[in-house]
Structure 1
């Protein structure tokens, strides 16, 4: 028994809102059942309106800092060998947890820095194993004309606090199929070690599924009869179940907050297309299918069993967890997240936020406030050609969840509170200038 709750944060990669059974997907709709994650949802709080950033890097940066990526400069994926990630000035969730007395581990996809000084073990994690960038790179070594003299060979890496991170093995298509199994086994070992030492832990497990190429472990290959994507969905569900089983077997259920969520909307590349369920669009757009992703939180006796449509944003995770563990946030710059601890634990019936701004890279694309959505740029699906709008489009997301009918002309009153959000953000940028991408430490 520890005096502080353990934190287990599992983040799926490119998991759309409509994939899981508990979000309307599952076997009949997506070809594979998700019984373990569905059971997790039945034992905790399932959010229908949890929002993220446009893709992998910005969401992970927002999660780690509680700040929108436009502020940190971590707002796009960069090829290996070029400046990327969070500067050392940013304070990460792992640093907050470590300073609060937690053992910290990262197993999975980082994507917030791939040079010494910016690896997970340099940014608050006691240990890490996984990939510094992304899974696209598994295709490199078998691509036509691949030249390692001009493009870096991708590696699975590992590191410990105070030591250099090292290459473990090439991250190729074969390693793609087995990496999530490895991540889960290392996560289980980390939890066991800290139980023996009676130390609270923060486990960050950013899985690789369902990012393309969406290739399952051999144990799941062909299992669904519906192709590699469905097989991988089944594997992802199984891996989450393994983590839950280990927590329960260690007797940690009532002292462990488990969060399962996704980093962005569904995969859009054939043959690995995902779905956002009732929402339009995929990641890399400002549509609801990009913003809304699954979010489930379980903490028996502390988080009620519930389903709700209250707005929560990925930047809220940092201050929420910090409040829970007694962690310290930065006080020298704006923190965009708000603590949702009283909401998640049922002490307050509504979220602590009403809206947020949505950027893609450094361009303001949309504002979301209550049940309303205002688009400044129209891109209904990825690579459709972003169209800057002279007059914004306004949608009511309850009456029009697919964002099909602009009703601004009859509801211009909504511009008032939305413009106040925009002004407040612009004023904060004047006082605390944004960090440009590629900024050195």
Structure 2
């Protein structure tokens, strides 16, 4: 064979091999990955030891996730407290656009996600996914009873009424895109029992009596509330973990991709570590519970490995808000553990420690292991990111109004997310607005409480997070022009009903960021 023919065959062989490689890579990218979201409850941005080695609670499983995934260092929940943060995550929309202007959904209150509102699980189900939510819901149900679930000014006022636990409970997870649900609405709210799909799993035929042991932190108003026989708070997380593991193994046998939203109940109160973790930290029950949370994450990650689906499973770990301040925080600080890292504040606060959250994504051979990104990110962005990944397009103007895809960042491309600002919200209904340059304007209660502040103008402060991440120096007097610019930008985001370009949308109610709301529910 002469050199000309040899060169030709070598060239042909190399070309075919290249096409084969490209075809295989394309097939891998276009194959829909399984998606497992692990949402910890009240897990601080500083609670993963690999990211804050000076902190004192060991988290070996989350440390491994950090080594194998990409960590987003500037990630935030939509709100600094449970219900509104979960609304933002599942809808891709800021929570303060809804009637709920402060606090969380109380026991027996109605669904916060309105009928017809598109959700992340609905989008994925329409794209061919099996969808499941296991764990805490805390987004409301239509509870059956002599009265209806309703929006009350008095928090947990509906606990006084009688409810029919034998009938279906509508408006929950299965009404908003999940094929299957198992969990507890809120672990520290009645009824104290599990729910499966639309039914109470075990009838609450006995009454709760507060057990006196360190670490419970259950409101005394719930004493004598309905409870399932032999209900043990310390058994909630192990049971939910077992069911999440079982779901992964079950779905791994199907050719259909799956989306698992594992909404953990820890380390939220009732702080009730199981026997194997009680006292293990040597610090406090809350530290033990953080360790058990890490164990639970490890069980889910191990299940993915054992099922042989790791390479085609995207895992996302995050928290719904900052670490709680009233569950033995003093003991953590005394031990040298700082759950908010260098940031000011904790759960509920408009300060960074209230809404800056851990955010780690692992996807073998797609997301660079051990990588870190300083991309500004809100949990509302998960919706658009997964839609771009799965469908190759963006949400319409009628859905996920505050969601920006960060997929290019996740896949290591040079272009970043289109998110250039962030609106945050506190448990008291306070607002803040942040831009890419690190400037943050804050609208605070002018008085010591919400009740004394209602209807009054918010107190305004200004910070530069790039030079002052702990928010210690108010720069409002030094830079009034920056404050005025930020306020105008925030006003546009609020009044347009969307953060994205294109057609304007409408908020569900009138929203004022510069004035403290008159009531918890802003009803039209």
Indicate whether the TM-score tops 0.5: yes
CA RMSD of aligned residues (A): 3.0
Helix, strand or coil at the partner of 2:405: coil
Alignment size in residue pairs: 418
**Kept in 2: contact 1:70–1:362 (CA 8 A):** no
In the alignment, which residue of structure 1 is the partner of 2:137?
Answer: 110
In the alignment, which residue of structure 1 is the partner of 2:312?
Answer: 255
1:24 pairs, out of 52, 61, 68, with 52
Q: Report how far residue 361 of structure 1 moved.
A: 6.6
- 1:221-260 CA-partner distances (Å, limit 9, x unpaired): 1222222112111111111111111111222122111000
Residue 341 in structure 1 maps to residue 414 in structure 2: no
**Kept in 1: contact 2:445–2:459 (CA 8 A):** no
In the alignment, which residue of structure 2 is the partner of 1:143?
Answer: none
Helix, strand or coil at the partner of 2:201: strand
2:97 pairs, out of 64, 67, 71, with 71
1:126 pairs, out of 149, 160, 179, with 179
After alignment, is 106-115 or 323-332 more displaced?
323-332
Q: Report how far residue 329 of structure 1 moved.
A: 3.6
Residue 238 in structure 1 maps to residue 272 in structure 2: no
In the alignment, which residue of structure 2 is the partner of 1:12?
Answer: 40
After alignment, is 354-363 or 167-176 more displaced?
167-176
Helix, strand or coil at the partner of 1:410: coil
1:303 to 1:126, Cα distance in 2 relative to 1, 3 A: same
Q: Report how far residue 412 of structure 1 moved.
A: 3.8
- 1:406-437 CA-partner distances (Å, limit 9, x unpaired): 12333344336523432322331495332258
- 1:314-356 CA-partner distances (Å, limit 9, x unpaired): 1101111122122874543561111111111111354431212
Cα separation, 2, equivalents of 1:158 and 1:369: 42
Give matches, 1:151-230, under 5 Å: 153-159=191-197, 164-168=198-202, 170=204, 175-230=232-287
- 1:103-154 CA-partner distances (Å, limit 9, x unpaired): 111100011122233111221111111012x2222xxxxxxxxxxxxxx533
In the alignment, which residue of structure 2 is the partner of 1:142?
Answer: none
**Kept in 2: contact 1:357–1:364 (CA 8 A):** no
1:250 to 1:385, Cα distance in 2 relative to 1, 3 A: farther
**Kept in 2: contact 1:281–1:381 (CA 8 A):** no
Residue 136 in structure 1 maps to residue 188 in structure 2: yes
Residue 318 in structure 1 maps to residue 347 in structure 2: no
Helix, strand or coil at the partner of 1:104: strand
Cα separation, 1, equivalents of 2:297 and 2:59: 10
Helix, strand or coil at the partner of 1:114: coil
Residue 404 in structure 1 maps to residue 472 in structure 2: yes
1:86 pairs, out of 91, 113, 122, with 113
Cα separation, 2, equivalents of 1:317 and 1:282: 23
Cα separation, 1, equivalents of 2:107 and 2:73: 35
Cα separation, 1, equivalents of 2:81 and 2:443: 19
**Kept in 1: contact 2:121–2:177 (CA 8 A):** yes
Cα separation, 1, equivalents of 2:408 and 2:447: 35
Q: Report how far residue 89 of structure 1 moved.
A: 2.3
Mind listing any 5+ residue stretches in structure 1 that lack a counterpart? 138-151
In the alignment, which residue of structure 2 is the partner of 1:140?
Answer: none
State TM-score, norm by structure 1.
0.86
1:40 to 1:384, Cα distance in 2 relative to 1, 3 A: farther
Helix, strand or coil at the partner of 2:311: helix
- 1:3-53 CA-partner distances (Å, limit 9, x unpaired): 31110000000011122202316xx633x3101101100111111110111
1:119 to 1:219, Cα distance in 2 relative to 1, 3 A: same
1:355 to 1:83, Cα distance in 2 relative to 1, 3 A: same
In the alignment, which residue of structure 2 is the partner of 1:147?
Answer: none
1:434 pairs, out of 488, 495, 507, with 507
Q: Report how far residue 82 of structure 1 moved.
A: 3.0
1:425 pairs, out of 483, 487, 493, with 493
Mind listing any 5+ residue stretches in structure 2 that lack a counterpart? 1-27, 143-168, 205-226, 333-338, 499-503, 510-519
**Kept in 1: contact 2:235–2:274 (CA 8 A):** yes
State TM-score, norm by structure 2.
0.73
**Kept in 2: contact 1:85–1:118 (CA 8 A):** no
1:36 to 1:386, Cα distance in 2 relative to 1, 3 A: farther
1:367 pairs, out of 433, 448, 463, with 433
**Kept in 1: contact 2:105–2:139 (CA 8 A):** no
